[in-house]
Every structure is written in C-alpha cells, then in structure tokens.
C-alpha cells in the first residue's frame, strides 16, 4: 500500500517559481495541485481497501440458510446494491432492530438503496481531473509566452544576462504603447480563475447529487453528532455510508418455487468513504470561500488603480532603490494599465530577485530618458511656437502701418 501512496507524493510537492515560471497564485495552486493531489490520495485509499481488510472483499453478506454460496451472495449484493430502512434509524437498539437502518420490513416500507459506493473511485478520479482542467486550459491559452519572456534569466550562469534584461525592459516599454497582447493575456487569466470558482461550486452540487442530496449538510451534521444524547444519537455518516445493510436474494427452489433469502451485509469500505467525504466537505467549503475572496480581490485591483499603486510589490522582493529610482518607479506604475501591472507582478514572482532589480533599474532609466526627450521636445515646440508668433507679429505691423498711410 505504501508503494501505491508513494506515487502521489510528487503531486503535492511544489516546484519553485524559478523551476516552473508559471504565472499563477496560491489559490490557483490550491485547485490544480493540492485538491488534485488530495483527490488522488483519496482514490488510492478507496481502491486499496484490499490491503486493509484481510478478507479482500469490499462487501460481506450472510444469511441464515446455507443454500447460497457466500461468494455468489457477495457478488450479487454488490452488483444489485443493498438497502437500508429509514424507519429503523430512529430510536435505540432493541427488539425491533439490532443495527440502525437494518431490521424487519414489510411490503410498502420505504427503502433507500445504496449503489453509489461502487462508483466512488471513478467519481474521485473524475473530480481530480476536473480540478486540473482549468490549469490545463490556462497552459494552452498562455502558450508558454511567459517562459519565453524570462527565458534564460534564472540560470546560475546566465550568458549575456545584461543584454537579455535590457531586451526585456525594451519589451515592457513597447508593450505600454501596444497593450492588446497584455489585455488578452490578462483576460485569459481572469477567465481561468473564474473557471476555478465555477468548478468548485459545480463539484459541491455534483457531490451532493451523487450522494443522494446528503452532502450539503454532511459536514455540519457530522460535526454536531457528538453533542447529541449518546443513547439516541445516530451517526449521520452511517446514513450516507452505512456499514450494515440489507440484501434480498431470490432463487428457484427444487420444485420451481421462488425462495427469498434475507441477507445482512457488512460494508467495511464505507468506513473509509465516510471519512474521506467529511474531509472533502470542509475542504470544498474552504476552497470555495478562498476562491470567492480571490475573485473579489481581483475585482478591487481591477477597478481601483489606487489600490494597485499601494501594493508594495517591489519591497516584497527585496529591492533597494534610490529616491529618484523610487519616484521613477511610482510614475511607471501609475502609467501602467492593469494587464501591464499584472505582467510585472508575476515577473517579480518568477524572476530571480537580483535580475528583477536590474530590470526595474533598466525600466527606470528608459522612463527617465523618455521623459527627458519629451521635455526637450515640448521645449522645442514651445520655442518654435514663440518664434512663429514673433514672425507673424513683425509681418503684421508693417502691413498695418502702410494701410494707414
């Protein structure tokens, strides 16, 4: 069993931003890395039940008549599904029933059939794939552009590092004029983040439907179970994943008469299933709240430029600037749209600190040079305008004097 779980270790191991310069965030990783890994481990635990149970069978049924072989009875009840009786979930153990949900039944009694436990491994696998899907879509839409932007800048022995950083600073300057690419890049990223939120809400609803509409309050019921009276309380997890169930097997007798065999079945695998889904309930709720807060944060930074300017991105990554550089950087941030700011933000996360510091210095120099050139052009334009005004005035005064004569 250890060898089966060992393969999931790499799913939860996080690569550094330098090793994998993929522009995302912690909430994004909660979906495609942590939740994917958790569901993979849960699927491994469910499918490895034979390592835990010495019998090697997920279901064991017995009947008081020894006319049905045990293996055949187990296979039949597993395929046809077992059931419980809701009328026996209330009250204390007594003469009427010996296990909650299991007891004598008559025609017309309500029965709850439990077949979904057969599909738990496939369901967990499907959910794991769906949590990874937004990340896969983002990689396809992004197309490795971010990797090309910072290609070769994080190596320990980077050749022509200054040339590459200067080219990157030039690229950022040019994109400030043509922002279509950055806008599309940011729009795709927003779409995938919103897709994460849609997916987690869909997963909660899908799991609730899969468990017979019992998942919506499953965690709260399980958490409040211990506060009930010990003699009358019923484990809510045993209602969703019963450990004891009933199964009815019918066959022809020697004379052709139909014989009914009422079997009591033990579902040991549900002990694992109930714990897994209690954990998933709390995890899905926390993940949905975190994803919603992240979307609100994105909306705030999108509609309020002042909030972006107050985010201390540069100090967070250990940059040191002179007052003039700080002023230039503040002007650069003020002139950036949100897509450009987002690119710079993830550059700060993915690049080596020293290289990013050098990039900011280059951007400040280019911004200062452009500002100086613009000031000179404005002064020249003002001087030309003044000179033209003087020439026009000189031409006008003699004409005025001649007409008076």
DSSP 133-144: HHHHHHHHHHTT
Q: Where does the pLDDT of residue 33 fall: very low under 50, low under 70, confident under 90, or very high at 90 and above? A: very high
Q: Where does the pLDDT of residue 315 fall: very low under 50, low under 70, confident under 90, or very high at 90 and above? A: very low
- Average pLDDT of every residue of the chain: 76
Q: Minimal CA–CA distance to 59: which of 266, 239, 247?
A: 266
Half-sphere exposure in the Cβ direction for 218 (13 Å, CA): 30
Is residue 278 a contact partner of residue 219, using CB atoms and an 8 Å limit? Answer: yes
Q: Distance (Å, rounded) from C-alpha 198 to C-alpha 193?
A: 9
Tens of pLDDT, residues 243-282: 889 998 888 877 778 888 889 999 888 888 989 999 999 9
Query: What pLDDT does residue 375 have?
Result: 46
DSSP 217: T
pLDDT at 69 over 70: yes
67-74 mean pLDDT: 84
Instruction: Kindly report the three-state secondary structure assignment for every residue of 258-286.
Output: EEEEEEEEECCCHHHHHHHHHHHHHHHHH
The token duo for 67 is 């006319």
**pTM exceeds 0.95 for this model:** no
**24-33, 36-45, 334-343, 370-379, range with the lowest pLDDT:** 370-379
Q: Where does the pLDDT of residue 156 fall: very low under 50, low under 70, confident under 90, or very high at 90 and above? A: very low
Query: What pLDDT does residue 13 have?
Result: 61
Q: Which residue has the tokens 């897709």?
A: 195
Is residue 350 a contact partner of residue 150, using CB atoms and an 8 Å limit? Answer: yes
State the virtual CA torsion across 367, 369, 372, 377 in degrees, nearest 10: -100
Q: Minimal CA–CA distance to 118: which of 51, 58, 76, 71?
A: 58
Q: Distance (Å, rounded) from C-alpha 61 to C-alpha 75?
A: 9
Domain residue extents for the chain = 2-142+181-304
**14-28, 61-75, 110-124, range with the lowest pLDDT:** 14-28
């Amino acid at each position: 069993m250890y060898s089966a779980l060992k393969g999931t270790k790499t799913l939860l191991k996080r690569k550094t931003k330098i090793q994998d310069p993929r522009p995302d965030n912690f909430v994004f990783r909660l979906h495609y890395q942590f939740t994917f890994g958790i569901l993979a481990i849960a699927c491994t635990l469910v499918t490895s039940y034979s390592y835990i149970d010495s019998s090697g069978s997920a279901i064991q049924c017995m009947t008081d008549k020894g006319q049905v072989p045990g293996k055949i009875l187990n296979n039949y009840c597993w395929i046809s599904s077992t059931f419980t009786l809701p009328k026996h979930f209330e009250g204390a153990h007594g003469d009427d029933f010996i296990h909650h949900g299991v007891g004598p039944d008559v025609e017309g009694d309500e029965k709850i059939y439990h077949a979904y436990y057969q599909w738990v491994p496939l369901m967990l696998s499907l959910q794991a794939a769906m949590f990874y899907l937004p990340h896969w879509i983002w990689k396809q839409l992004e197309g490795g552009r971010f990797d090309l932007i910072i290609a070769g800048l994080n190596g320990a022995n980077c050749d022509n590092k200054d040339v590459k950083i200067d080219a990157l600073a030039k690229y950022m300057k040019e994109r400030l004029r043509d922002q279509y690419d950055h806008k599309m890049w940011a729009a795709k990223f927003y779409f995938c983040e919103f897709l994460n939120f849609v997916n987690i809400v869909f997963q909660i609803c899908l799991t609730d439907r899969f468990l017979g509409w019992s998942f919506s309050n499953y965690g709260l019921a399980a958490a409040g179970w211990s506060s009930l009276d010990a003699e009358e309380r019923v484990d809510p997890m045993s209602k969703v994943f019963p450990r004891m169930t009933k199964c009815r097997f019918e066959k022809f007798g020697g004379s052709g008469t139909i014989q009914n065999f009422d079997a009591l079945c033990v579902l040991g695998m549900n002990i694992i299933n109930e714990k897994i889904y209690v954990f998933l309930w709390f995890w899905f709720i926390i993940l949905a709240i975190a994803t919603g807060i992240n979307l609100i944060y994105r909306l705030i930074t999108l509609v309020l430029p002042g909030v972006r300017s107050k985010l201390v991105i540069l100090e967070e990554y250990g940059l040191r600037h002179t007052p003039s550089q700080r002023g230039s950087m503040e002007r650069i941030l003020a002139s950036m749209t949100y897509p450009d700011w987002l690119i710079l933000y993830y550059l700060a996360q993915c690049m080596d600190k020293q290289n990013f510091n050098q990039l900011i210095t280059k951007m400040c120099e280019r911004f200062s040079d452009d500002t100086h050139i613009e000031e000179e052009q404005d002064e020249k334009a003002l001087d030309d305008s003044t000179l033209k005004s003087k020439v026009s005035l000189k031409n006008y005064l003699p004409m005025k004097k001649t007409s008076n004569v």
